[in-house]
Amino acid sequence: MNNPDPSPIRPLTVSARLGPASGLDVLSRQEVARLRDASAGGLHQLLRSCALAVLTQGLVTDDPRAASEMHADFEIQVLQQDRGVGLELINAPAHAFVDGKIIRGINELLFAVVRDIVFVSTQIEAGSFDLDNSVGITHAVFDILRNARVLRANVAPNLVVCWGGHSISRYEYDYTKHVGYQLGLRDLDICTGCGPGAMKGPMKGATIGHAKQRRSKNRYIGITEPGIIAAESPNPIVNNLIIMPDIEKRLEAFVRTAHAIIVFPGGVGTAEEILYLLGIMLHPANAGIPYPLIFTGPSESAAYFEQIDRFLRLALGDEVASHYQIIIDDPGQVARQVAKGVERVRKYRLESGDAFFFNWAISIDESLQHPFHPTHEAMASLNLHREQPRHEFAADLRRAFSGIVAGNVKIEGMRAIEQHGPFLIRGDDKIMQALDDLLAGFVSQQRMKLPGTAAYVPCYRVLHD
């Protein structure tokens, strides 16, 4: 006699009421009402999805629907109390608690979610953000970062942004830790996209370097956005989480706050970040502004960076290589070059009068600031031809990669692919061939999806003119 299929194992859950550990000012009754509003015009669903992402730290998946399906009965409510604001968690993942008490770091990140969702929505509703022009967008980015207490006056430049993939090999992950350790020994703080892989490793390594230097008040900043956080939950080391409204403001936040950027191996999201930054650095208005940029990985990843370098040179000209260094298998040299670059930035800021904590001087073209919505029509309409200024071509290439990111890990993009098939990407024949080869390399190296998950099905088709 066959036994019936066993019922699926329900994950262990905990229900609790929380007060903020730190980092959240009191909310008005109107703000609390908006967060509790479960209607289409409210913020409740956004709060729930971002909070669940924080609570499911360590869940190995890059499907943003996985956590929601696993914890379909999870609920969160914002409580207005006489002494401030609180949260009620119902059927929250049990691994976020120890002996019935929520882990302090998770508590801090939960209230950071509330802080950013409330601040951004109320500022937009009040008309405080002017998102129709470049200056207004930059000021919105500044205001969000200031409200999150990321910007510190009277502190010498020391913030290193680390980019790289969530789906990387073990030896690549270990290498990111070694680099982070060397950065920590040199009193450098770390900012990443806050997720796993190359976003976690540098922070983990830096914690040891900082501890050896007996350094306190270390900053491990994670910058994300609602479409990404569900697929890349914040790693446990992040002690300052910021949720920007969209990917463009997230990228601008990285560029404005960084004093140097390190790029580790990654996939399409990392390529998008590289092209965004190069689109800025290639703009004539930014000539002469120091901006240290280093590509690095272990010896096993040398071919990866050779392919990235070839693609960038083909698309944007050999001169583009003057904007970055490639250092293979030498964490100490990476950290030394970053420290030298940060010192150049410090001197330039002093001479130019620019702030240490926010790069006002660098010019970001408005085309890079407005949100790109990767519909099938928008992806097919991208101008992927070289007969245009290099910084504009870099911006359109960046949008192509942004669309693939959406098709891979963002709910809206995944649904669009399921309904209408893959995005069609068309452009210059040589560029499209190189792009096709680059993306095929990402697929074969398992940089599109986490190893062990379902086989990757491309969300795109590259067409040649």
Q: Is 92 helix (H, G, I), strand (E, B) or coil?
A: strand
Per-residue pLDDT of the chain (465 residues; tens, 9 = 90+): 444 444 456 678 889 988 877 656 667 777 777 766 655 567 888 888 889 989 987 665 556 566 677 888 899 888 876 566 788 999 999 989 999 899 999 999 998 998 898 888 888 877 889 999 999 999 999 999 999 999 998 899 999 999 999 889 999 999 999 999 999 999 999 999 998 999 999 999 999 999 999 998 999 999 999 888 877 789 889 999 999 999 999 999 999 999 999 999 999 999 999 999 999 999 999 999 999 999 999 999 999 999 999 999 999 999 999 999 999 999 999 999 999 999 999 999 999 999 999 999 999 999 999 999 999 999 999 999 999 999 999 999 999 999 999 998 888 898 999 999 999 999 999 999 999 999 999 988 888 877 666 788 899 999 976
Contact 75, 47 (CB under 8 A): no
Strands of the 325-328 sheet, one edge to the other:
240-243, 220-224, 189-192, 159-163, 260-263, 293-297, 325-328
Burial of 324 (0-12, 13-18, 19+ CB in 10 A): buried
Three-state DSSP class for residue 287: coil
Residue 149 tokens read as 């207490």
What whole-number distance in Å separates Cα of residue 65 and Cα of residue 300? 33
Name the H helices within 186-301: 201-212, 226-229, 247-257, 268-281
Residue whose C-alpha is closest to residue 199's, from 215, 213, 179? 179
Quick check: 431 and 316 in contact, CB under 8 A? no
pTM (two decimals): 0.91
pLDDT for the residue numbered 2: 45
Kindly write down the DSSP assignment for every residue of 100-160, as one continuous string: TEE-HHHHHHHHHHHHHHHHHHHHHHTT---TTSHHHHHHHHHHHHHHTT---TT--S-EE
Q: What is the pLDDT of residue 36?
A: 66
Q: Which residue, 297, 276, 51, 85, is CA-closest to 179?
A: 297
- Is-contact 92 1, C-beta < 8 A? no
- Alpha-helical (H) ranges within 282-387 are 302-316, 331-352, 376-380
